[in-house]
A and B are shown apart, each in its own frame.
Chain A
Amino acid sequence: MAAQDAASARTAYDWPAILKDLAGTAIVSMLLMVPIVSYKSVITQYSLVLEARWGTVFIILGIILAARLLMHLFVWNRPPAALPAAKSSGPAKASLTDRIGPSVFPVLVAFAILLPIISGGDRRTIDLSIYILTYIMLAWGLNIVVGLAGLLDLGYVAFYAVGAYAYALLSTIYFPYWFGDGMLPWAFYITLPLAGLLAALWGVILGFPVLRLRGDYLAIVTLAFGEIIRLVLINWFSFTNGPQGITVPKATFFGLPFSAGPGGFADFFGIEHNRIYYYIFLYYVILILALVTYFVTNRLRRLPIGRAWEALREDEIACRSLGINTTNTKLTAFAIGAMFGGFAGCFFATRQGFVSPESFVFIESAIILAIVVLGGLGSQIGIVFAAIAIMGSFELFRELTIFQDYLPEGTDPVHFRMLAVGLAMVLMMRFRPRGFVTRRQPTVFLKERKAVSGDLVKEGHG
């Protein structure tokens, strides 16, 4: 019975309506295409002339109309009853990423530890992994502020910059001045905690003015803060060396430099000198830093402070009515998030061997935030996949030389990477608006740990 209805409904086309719609589509398409597609400006030897491309216009129009007609014939004429049947109001079904979430972490860690061996010491693989791990760590740090406390921070890269410049300035200027050259091999290990503390201090400094701000205002002020730090780095020439940047020393293996001569890392262990050891060393440093970020954040979530962060995201007024000092709670979220940004910045400086304000532009903040959002607000495992997807796809675009032949001359596939990421974000917002991992793991339970459906979890007022 129902099948018959469906069949008859499918064959009964409302031709006048379809034709009207196609005519409307044609008008809108032409309005859009006439200024954009139909004329191309060509520079000849002496002048600029317009080259008409009406053929292209009609080919595109034909494709649009055909596609729309096909949609009318086969997709949009389905009986409406067939559509909402799939949706049930039962408990939220766990998606694939939700179900594999918690169990997949040990596998990922094991894989990460073995990666230098699996890759066979391939410099490019290790470089890419260092790159991705840095962003995973940054996103885990930002996740404390955005995902847990629900405060939208568009200037996170400022703390990254504070960490990087802390290492650059301390190791090149202040340590030699204070302690002489003997301290230099240990500069990285001494600066690392200092960079974190300095970034945390700046997190508190940012935190104070934005305490009373919400939503758009909070986003704008944090964005401005990120830009202020960058502009100060550019313009305070006597302190930061301005846009020329600072060359920073390499990290050592607990005092052993990765150099060829005697007294170096290779010499000490009696192995042949190879530059790859330095990259493998850096890889393990960032892996350890990232894992520390993961475990500390995970631990904090289960402590009163972490629960207060999440409660703050859910309802600030209720928090205050329960005696929670929301000022301190927000400040600790900013400070601890910034601290991990500072660690990552310190690592970034030693990996690059060079820091300049150019590395700390707004787009970096946007990418880190995109990773957090794509991963699922508050989800640490989701962030790993999101970072691999976004940073990996950036690298992938560098490899797409096969498309070179199909693209107009002078365009590089790399130029399309932001476009592709934008498209991916739009699709994500359409189909999985809450990110890869949407469900929230409760921090404490009585009988069984049931994940909370993402629909109930608020995004905070940031």
Chain B
Amino acid sequence: MATASRTPVLSVEHLTMRFGGLTAVSDLSFDAFPREITAIIGPNGAGKTTVFNCITGFYKPTEGRICLRHSDAKEYLLERMDDFRIAQNARVARTFQNIRLFSGMTVLENLMVAQHNKLMAASGYTIAGIFGSGHFRRTEKEAIALATAWLEKVKLIDRADDPAGDLPYGDQRRLEIARAMCTDPRLLCLDEPAAGLNPRESEELNRLLKSIRAENDVSILLIEHDMSVVMGISDPIVVLDYGQKISDGDPTHVKTDPAVIRAYLGVEDEDEDALAAKAVSEAVGGKS
């Protein structure tokens, strides 16, 4: 799928992350392209979330280069930037494996906090805001309009004035995605967005992610265990095991790759290998 002529939004090159003696990610390279959903899968402890933390600046990688390109050809070397600058300037947004909403603030307030930098500049770094400048009030109205649009999209408009902590689990997941999208990102990193969702909710999530891909200038990076989500929506898939890339390609290729099957099921024997391949392809392929 990935042709040489297209420029990737994100290039991860030789990324290595060591914690003391433990190598969580080792010499990982992959690209993510605009308007595509790149999935990162792998067994527990394979280093997927570590990759996310390196991309979003929460960890500083031990080695390697992470380069983000905007459509205007501006390049950002993420491994050198502070986490909040990555979000602010390079426009990388993320969600968390264990949801991190501002639970004591309302749903709308959560989305307003996401537009902090835009509003902060409009409020003249608070000074013009105190005196209620017209420019600030207009920008705030626009921010509310953007938040409203996203709330409609994730079907939470009726709960806009409720505290975020009061929402059911599935709604909180969608709100976190909406909050990340309110920062107007070029790269959206979703850490297990389908964890804890029922099949109907994951189906809804699939639709939401597809529509985000279709309507926004954004590339999506997705960590997921739910194969119905991964196989249903991702364009390329990167498979990690013990911090190393063991396979990548489109879903049909990855599904049948013996290395992937070995990583997930841990079999060596030829016969069992073939059996397992069949079992996995039925399990994951049935839903996609």
Contacts and interface: CB of A to CB of B under 8 A. Distances in A.
B286 to A, nearest CB: 35
A305 to B, nearest CB: 5
A457 interface: yes
A87 interface: no
B76 to A, nearest CB: 13
A303 B126 contact: yes
A322 B115 CA distance: 8
Interface string A418-462: 000000000000000000000010111111111011001110000
Contacts, number: 138
Across chains A and B, which 6 residue pairs bring their CB atoms closest together, nearest first? A457-B104, A323-B87, A323-B88, A314-B102, A456-B165, A304-B119
B87 A320 contact: yes
Contacts of A332: 126
Given A314-B102, A442-B106, A300 B130 contact: yes
Residue of B85, B94, B148, B166 with most chain A CB atoms under a 10 A cut-off: B166
B36 interface: no
A310 interface: yes
Contacts of A314: 101-105
B235 interface: no
A325 interface: yes
Nearest to B102: A314
B109 A324 contact: no
A307 B116 contact: yes
Interface in B63-112: 83-88, 93-94, 96, 100-106, 108-109, 112
Interface in A317-344: 317-326, 332
Nearest to A315: B100
A321 B113 contact: no
Main secondary structure, interface of B, reads helix
Nearest to A327: B84
Interface in B211-241: none
Interface stretch (B18-26, B155-163, B192-200, B244-252): B155-163
Nearest to A296: B130
B113 A444 contact: no
Contact of B161 (A305, A321, A450): A450
Contacts of A444: 106, 108-109, 112, 140, 144
A318 B123 contact: no
A442 B113 contact: no
Interface in A278-335: 296, 299-300, 303-305, 307-308, 310-311, 313-315, 317-326, 332
Nearest to A455: B165
Contact of B109 (A319, A443, A447): A443
B120 interface: yes
Nearest to B89: A323
A317 B100 contact: yes
A337 to B, nearest CB: 14
Residue of B58, B104, B183 with most chain A CB atoms under a 10 A cut-off: B104
A357 B123 CA distance: 40
Contacts of A445: 106, 108, 160-161
B104 A304 contact: no
A211 to B, nearest CB: 13
Contacts of A453: 163, 166
A22 B90 CA distance: 70
Nearest to A459: B104
A239 B84 CA distance: 43
Residue of A296, A318, A445 with most chain B CB atoms under a 10 A cut-off: A318
